[in-house]
Structure 1
């Protein structure tokens, strides 16, 4: 796979490599139970956030299993709004996309714009054949985002995960390269 050209720019956003200056903002939203609700694990500690930001800042995207997580920042107002991730899955040309936003950035179309840019990167520069999103069926905003992007609901896996003390139904949305606008 080729190197990733950064930053990725959209109409309102810049998707860039994480930096040390992102730690406080990253921790501010990842420490919230509402952010952790649909993510694996509990709300993150400051130390966990330090480790994650360091990992994201120094990502290598060369082989199956690698992740790229890009910081989402408004072009006209520097500061971390959230992140969008792409994981290279096993199997030829397969990837998974995800996103997390700070509470103040939600509901403004930033996640849709960032995810669309990441799909464009994945299908364009990186040459993936299929990109999927896996989410908790109770995560209605993310399901609606997948639909806005034109992703198709491929599966509803009832009681697939047991996490945070309860069973969760997993939705799998996906898109093929030839379906990308």
Structure 2
């Protein structure tokens, strides 16, 4: 993806100048699935930006007016035509519709430009904001995986397994929702 624009946002590849903004949202991951991405210094952020620049499955989400990075979207292809999608946003920008606006642009891109047939997202059962976003995007809750995966441990060192919902959307469902 080169660059997509919405009313208020620009979705684009990562750039060197994104390190400080990335540090803001990756220094305190709000959900356990992003714990592996946790960073604590500007140098670590700069390294992560370099990796994101080379990995085209990650997209920086920036405010159109200021170019400030406020989060990221990602999409991982599973052959032949399915994509896993996700997002991570700076808490300071919550409640303004930016996640939905950017995710809708990503869905449109994947269905229209990349030939996706099916998109899905995994969401922890305690991540109400992402569950709501999936539902607002028209995604179906397909199931709940009990103790699906562990991203962290309890104080005694044993794994803390996450209960995880799977949401999905087929291209034909997306087209039906967007033809009205």
TM-score bracket for the superposition, by shorter chain length? 0.7 to 0.9
Aligned partners of 1:107, 1:38: CA distance in 2, in Å? 21
Query: Superposition pairs for residues 67-146 of structure 1, below 5 Å?
Result: 68-89=57-78, 91-146=79-134
Structure (1 or 2) with the greater helix fraction: 2
| Root-mean-square deviation (Å) | 1.6
Aligned partners of 1:102, 1:43: CA distance in 2, in Å? 13
**Residue in 2 that maps onto 1:63:** none
Q: Which runs of 5+ in 1 are unaligned?
A: 61-67
Higher Cα Rg, which structure: 2
The counterpart of 1:168, out of the listed 138, 162, 165, is 162
Aligned partners of 1:140, 1:45: CA distance in 2, in Å? 26
Helix, strand or coil at the partner of 1:122: helix
TM-score, normalised to structure 1's length? Answer: 0.86
Q: Is the 8 A contact 1:30 1:43 kept in 2?
A: yes
TM-score, normalised to structure 2's length? Answer: 0.86
Q: Which runs of 5+ in 2 are unaligned?
A: 154-159
Structure 1 runs of 4+ aligned residues shifted over 6 Å read none
Aligned partners of 2:37, 2:21: CA distance in 1, in Å? 18
Helix, strand or coil at the partner of 1:78: coil
